[in-house]
Structure 1
Amino acid sequence: MSPFGGTRIDSSNAFTHTGGGDFHVHLGTESQNPHGPAFHKVADDQLVWLRRMLVAPDNMGEARATLADTGTVILDGAPGSGRNSAAKVLLYEYHRESGVYSELVPGDDEQLPLHEPSLVGTGDRLLLDLSDAARWSASRAGLSTLRTSVHEKNARLVVVMPHRDTLDPDLQRFRVEIRRPPGRQVLRRHLRVHGLPYEQYMQQLDSEAEEFVAERPMREIADLADLVRRARASARPGDGLAQWCATARGARNDRREEVAGLVTRLPEAPQRALLVTVALLHDAHADIVHRAAALLLKALGPGSGEIPLLQHKDLAERLKEIGAGTDADGHVRFTELDYDSAVRAHFWDHMPDLRPYLDTWAADVVELDDPHLTPAVRDGLVARLAGQYLRTGRPEGLASLAENWSAESAAQVRLEAAAQALTRGLDDPAHGGTFRKRIYQWCAYNRLTAEFAQVLVQVCADVLASNHPDMALVRLYHLARRERGTTRALDALRALVAKSGRLHRTLLDRLTRYGGPTPPDLTIFLHVSDPELLTDTTRAARALVEEAGVRRSLTACWCAVLAGLPRTTWQPRAAAWLHRATEGADRVDASLLDVLVDAAEQGREKRGELFAALYAAARAAERTAPGGPVRAAETTGLLLHKIGAAQGLRPAGPPPSSTRGTRP
């Protein structure tokens, strides 16, 4: 990996859009916080949005009570009843400061088996979607063991099972069958959240709309609500809910033949360029559409010759030719609702040679310097282009697009577009797994530009970690090992493990698993080994530093640090450990000193030298101790006593008070 430059990708919060239409992820300034990316906020914001949208299905109260009483609920329900959304909302309601939200992926090579206790951390919120019959058959045997681990760790588990499938007798008491909520109520809730006033969303539906919402799955009702919202935005004055619903239903019709006929009637390159541009920049300002259409024509070939400028058709006339127009604010839309998606599909499917030009053109458009080119417009363009790759089953093409957009010296807005493209891929139900694996290959094996490495850090920390924190940890670990000139990956990794003792434990194990820590591993260790997190007893029954496995990992890492790195490198972290031991008054904080002494003792022939280095570090740390030099000197005395005990020079018990602060 080449050294990181000065380009920065920052991300603010994002939301899950449960309906159709555009989905925007705005990458802004919030993550400039030096404490690292707030990846956990993404998952929380998604769940907040989902909770606002959800109309509780029947028996939601029973499911909530079962989860509260037992820590586990197994949701049964017909497809389309909203069971997956209900599962996520149930877990959102149990948000705590400790633990992480995680969607388990049984059968994935990266995930531990369901019967493995270390799969569950204290306070974790786990979603296990086994609604697929094949996945249910393969995983149901491990549910009892998983439920036991969840109970022991004070975690929460929601399982979605196939409707009315067989369940083991010992798990029957956790089963709750939820039933589809009234479709009319679901539609009204979505319209209300979309901003329609009460007197509009409560209007009477026509018979076709009533029939639609009475029968269709929750996702299709959400899609209809989004179309109704958009139909209202472009409707004539005086139209009401019935007309908007009729327009929305019409937009669901197959328009492929209609669009094909329009393209046939528009043979000129400028006409088709404008048609494609409006479809990909729908609802953008006319100035942006005009400039983007000219860019596309330029990318595709020669211009329009020597025709005088005033003889050119104006934009209004050209838009009318393609069935589009501008609103009072100058934003361009097709006159027919959802026509833009049909146009995009037509050109993508029937002019495949156009695709590479669209990739380059989109990158050029996001870099345009124009006040009307807002983050929402940029993200909308990327989302629509990414949608064509995903719709046609070409996830690798979208992945390559993101990598190409992150070439060396790429502008920040282009890097943001690359992050948006990868976000779309990760969020896609059909291709999310492909993107997770592709990102792993990049992080672990590929030679990356500094710019693309930063994109991957951001996507792993702010997107992947939202639902799959273990996978994010592995990818950030690989990025951190190869990081040069910046601590962006290290900071993201530290922020991730700070939320979960289980993830912290997993990382420490990884640092020492394969023949001992390497120099890059030691850099990671010094960056993430926060003594406050290691001694925290508020989120779990005992502190991490008291666990035997964690203690072994910490000792091995400190031994390698003391023996292999100059003291100037590890002195700040050692000082933090010593200060924590000074501030604390119990055995947990004092155990930090035991780890340091044990690490030096493992140096064997060099242990005398390492003991001396530890003592010198403690003396230096006294000058910056928050509790003052007197208390710090007591800690130094305690450390010296433990060193003497390790050498067999003093008894192993606690030292007499007179020995604290003594000098050899």
Structure 2
Amino acid sequence: MSERSSTRVEGAQGPMHTGSGNMYVTVGPDLGDPGRPSFRRIADDQLTWLRRVLVAPSGMGAARAELADTGTVILDGLPGSGRTSAARVLLRESHRDSGVFRELLPGEEGELSLTDPGLVGSGDRLLLDLSASDAARWAAARSGLPALRKAVHDQQARLVVVMPHGGVLESDLQRNRVVIDDPPGVNVFRRHLRMHGLPCEQYLRPDPTVDDFLRERRPMREIADFADLVRRARGATRAGDGFPQWCATALRSRADRRNDVAVLVARLRESPQRALLITVAMLHGAHADVIHRATQLLLGVTGSPPEEVPLLQRRDLAERLTEISAETGPDGHVRFTELDYDSAVRTHFWDHMPDLRQHLGVWTAHSVDLDGTHVTRGLRDGMVTQLAGQYLRTAHGEELASLAEEWSSTSASRAGLEAAVQALTCGLNDPAHGRHFRERVYQWCANRRLRGKFAQVLVQVCADVIASSHPDQALLRLYYLARREPDTTHALRALCELVDTSHRLRRRLLNRLAGPALSPAELDIFLSVCAPGPLTDPYDNGRALVEESAVRGALTACWRDVLGDLPPSGWQSQARRWLHTAAVGDRLGGILLDVLVDAADRCGSRRGAAFAALYASARDAECTAPFGSACAAETTDLLFQKICAAQGLGRPTTPPQAESARETES
């Protein structure tokens, strides 16, 4: 992470201070859990899994060759043929030491135009999925493809475009087009079963259920889902059942069960019965103790009166579970006796009791705060995911977003904040609603007044969810959050960590900061991301960021505001790092000094004071120079010469601070 000139204390028992500068004390629940895998790592794991389960479709070899030869391939094929999965695997196979995997979303807030050369970083692996685009969006993308392909070539990157089936393609792009055809369905099915750990002697035998399922053409996603149902049926069926029984159970679970559930609900007239049915559906597989406590919570949230029957005369949980076709297993966890019955129950209550929806949101918020041995992070996330799935399935994404904001705007617990993160994650990862949620997050970050701990939730989803595949959008949203956070540095730290992953992102942030005048918050952002190491670190063909004229201009503009608006105590720590780096003695060190001197030279009426403060900082830096005071003294002397040259003077014997003092006296 970039070093800063301030001191942060997190999770402290009380306030403390270790030196000059600002002090930030973070109090309250912190979502940064080092024991939890980040979504960036999860995204990489998903690409790895996809590569393992993909059966290469017809045309995959030609696509690999075209991508290796030209850096660009355009995939075409029927919907459901696995085009998008093939595209992601092609990019996963192109992994290099430099660059990142990113999905391009032209037209969204925070995304650069396809014609902007700053869109492509060295070695980047870019996916442009337009498989579901209409004619207008596809035409707009095609107009930008020539410039994008050139940038990809110049940066030695890789680009895979998934075009809409039957879309128009210009003649000069036809050579990059490769048609993807469905691989054999039975091979796809067996590959997924093998990756799920099923014994090959089971699924390699002919099975009439599988043959019947694969008789007609199926989309690759549907075959993968059926294989997953077989895996789950294996874990849920009785001992002694084999592969034919697992497949039959999986096929039955695909049947429409709306009528069955409707009949069951009509038979269960009492509130405790229906509350138990809903709870098992939302917390399917949870321990019986959790089911009992959550059921009581639901009865309370919906205003059901407490039972008046004496405790020992009430029906026990085993009897009540039998009424709803559920049971407690040997491990004490509760499941329906039929596979995927929980999904049908959730759908029924959501569709046919709309007045219950608001209560389910309140109940979920209370349930995630339950504690105990059997209440795990995975259980909480699963419950939120089931609720979010109903909102998204019925196109009520706006209500889900508002619910997440409400959960974290009050005095939320850590579990409540994690639930809000999970709800927004579900929306952001949903293919149909992801764009709306990214826009909603942008509006929150840039324009809305954020209450409670909601800013922490937004930092989490930007840094871990959006940044995993859309880092430019995450950069913009974290930048707005960092400008607005008054008492914490959550957004600033996440922003620094993000730009540390990419020279391209650091360049883009510096260009954004180089505006008319930096606000106090933007000054803090700049001082946090302008560490000299990343600026002088060679990349691509050995070039460093500070060698680029546009980057030097941005650095000069920002340092001008720093030197002109902040007292020396606010920036000397970062200036000391610049001076220590410059003391190495190479050409890049001279560029760093030029930037500092040029910035001071533009400080107007404070020009003399800025020169004096820079010189004083250089003298002070000699005491802590990592390469010795003699080398640092030479750097100070070189800085002095550059200051004199900027003032149009020969080398005077009077140091800048004395000159500044005489100017002030006169």
Superposition TM-score, scaled by structure 1 size? 0.91
Match of 1:253 in 2: 255
Cα displacement (A) at 1:205: 2.8
Cα distance in structure 1, aligned partners of 2:372 and 2:205: 41
Aligned twin of 2:58 = 58
What does the per-residue CA deviation read over 1:78-98, in whole Å, with 9 as the maximum and x for residues that have no partner?
211111011111112223343
Shift of 1:111: 2.5
Q: 1:331 aligns with which of 327, 330, 333?
A: 333
- Alpha-carbon offset, residue 208 of structure 1: 4.7
| Partner residue in 1 for 2:218 | 216
Which residue is equivalent to 1:607? 607
Paired residue type of 2:147:
T
SS in 2 for 1:230: helix
- Deviation digits for residues 281-303 of structure 1 (CA, Å, limit 9, x no counterpart): 00111110011001111111243
Decide whether aligned partners of structure 1 residues 213 and 110 sit closer, same or farther in structure 2, where only a CA change above 3 A counts: farther
> Does the CA contact (< 8 Å) of 1:98 and 1:499 recur in 2?
no
In angstroms, what is the RMSD of aligned CA positions? 2.3
In the other structure, the counterpart of 1:29 is 35
Once the 2 structures are TM-superposed, how far is the Cα of residue 207 of structure 1 from its aligned partner?
Answer: 5.1
Q: Does 1:80 align with 2:102?
A: no
Match of 1:385 among 371, 387, 391: 387
- Residue 641 of structure 1 aligns with which residue? 641
CA shift for structure 1 position 397: 0.7
Tell me if structure 2 keeps the 8 A contact 1:182–1:214.
Answer: no
Question: How far off is 1:133 after superposition?
Answer: 4.2
Task: Give the counterpart letter for 2:618 in structure 1.
Answer: A
Give the secondary-structure state (helix, strand or coil) at the position aligned to 1:215. Answer: coil
- Structure 2 distance, partners of 1:332, 1:499, is 44
Aligned AA for 2:35? T
Question: For the structure 1 residues 182 and 560, does the alpha-carbon distance in structure 2 shift closer, same or farther, using more than 3 Å as the test?
Answer: same
- Alignment gaps of 5+ in structure 1: 12-27, 32-37
C-alpha distance 146-473 of structure 1, shift in aligned 2 (>3 A)? same
The TM-score normalised by the length of structure 2 is 0.91
State the partner residue of 1:199: 201
Q: Which runs of 4+ in 1 moved over 6 A?
A: none
**Counterpart in the other structure of 1:243:** 245
- The counterpart of 2:370, out of the listed 358, 368, 385, is 368
Partner Cα separation in structure 1 for residue 570 and residue 633 of structure 2: 23
Q: Is the aligned partner of 1:355 residue 2:357? A: yes
Q: 2:618, 2:275 → 1: CA distance?
A: 70
1:302 & 1:211 partners in 2: Cα distance? 45
- 8 Å contact kept, 1:545–1:588: yes
Instruction: Please state if 1:10 is matched with 2:9.
Output: no
1:262-285 deviation digits (Å, cap 9, x = unpaired): 000000000000000000000111
Partner of 1:411: 413
Matched-pair contact (CA < 8 Å) for 1:470–1:503: yes
Quick one: which amino acid aligns to residue 407 of structure 1?
S
1:401 aligned residue: 403
1:29 alignment partner AA: G
Residue 539 of structure 1: how far off its partner (Å): 3.5
Give the conservation status (yes or no) of the 8 Å contact 2:76–2:165: yes
Letter of the 1:406 counterpart:
S
Letter in structure 1 aligned against 2:567: P
The offset of 1:541, in angstroms, is: 5.0
Distance in 2 separating the partners of 1:330 and 1:199? 32
Match in the other structure for 1:517:
518
Q: Secondary structure at the match of 2:608?
A: helix
Alignment coverage as a number of residue pairs: 632
Moved more, 486-495 or 384-393: 486-495
- Give 1:566 deviation, angstroms: 1.3
More deviation in 138-147 or 194-203? Answer: 194-203
Q: Specify the SS of the correspondent of 2:583.
A: helix
AA in 2 matched with 1:120? V
Distance (Å, rounded) in 2 between the aligned partners of 1:39 and 1:94: 21
C-alpha contact 2:271 2:304 (8 A) present in aligned 1: no
More off after superposition, 609-618 vs 195-204: 195-204
SS at match of 2:446: helix
The AA in structure 2 aligned to 1:579 is: H
2:5 equivalent in structure 1: none
Q: 1:185 Cα shift?
A: 1.6
Other-structure match for 2:432:
430
State the distance in 2 between where 1:487 and 1:187 align: 48
Check if 1:141 corresponds to 2:143. Answer: yes
CA change 1:321–1:419 in 2 (3 A) is same
**8 Å contact 2:110–2:476 — kept in the other structure?**
no
Q: Take 2:119 and 2:342, find their aligned partners in 1: how far apart are those partners?
A: 45
**Deviation, structure 1 residue 105:** 1.5
Q: Which residue of 2 aligns with 1:591?
A: 591
> Do the aligned residues in 2 keep the contact of 1:5 with 1:451 (CA within 8 Å)?
no
One-letter identity of the residue aligned with 2:82: G
Cα distance in 2 between the residues matched to 1:394 and 1:528: 39
Shift of 1:172: 2.2
Cα distance in 1 for residues equivalent to 2:417 and 2:369: 10
Return the alpha-carbon distance in structure 1 between the equivalents of residues 252 and 36 of structure 2: 41
Rounded Cα–Cα distance in structure 2 between residues aligned with 1:213 and 1:370: 48
Residue segments in structure 2 that go unaligned for 5+ positions in a row:
1-23, 660-666
The question of whether the paired residues in 2 share the 8 Å contact of 1:457 and 1:476 is answered with: yes
Partner of 2:21: none
Q: Distance in 1 between matches of 2:505 and 2:216?
A: 44
Q: Distance in 1 between matches of 2:129 and 2:637?
A: 55
CA drift of 1:623 comes to 1.9
The correspondence of residues 222-621 of structure 1 with structure 2, limited to 5 A, is 222-513=224-515, 515-583=516-584, 585-621=585-621
Distance 1:285 1:396 in 2: 32
Aligned to 2:91: 91
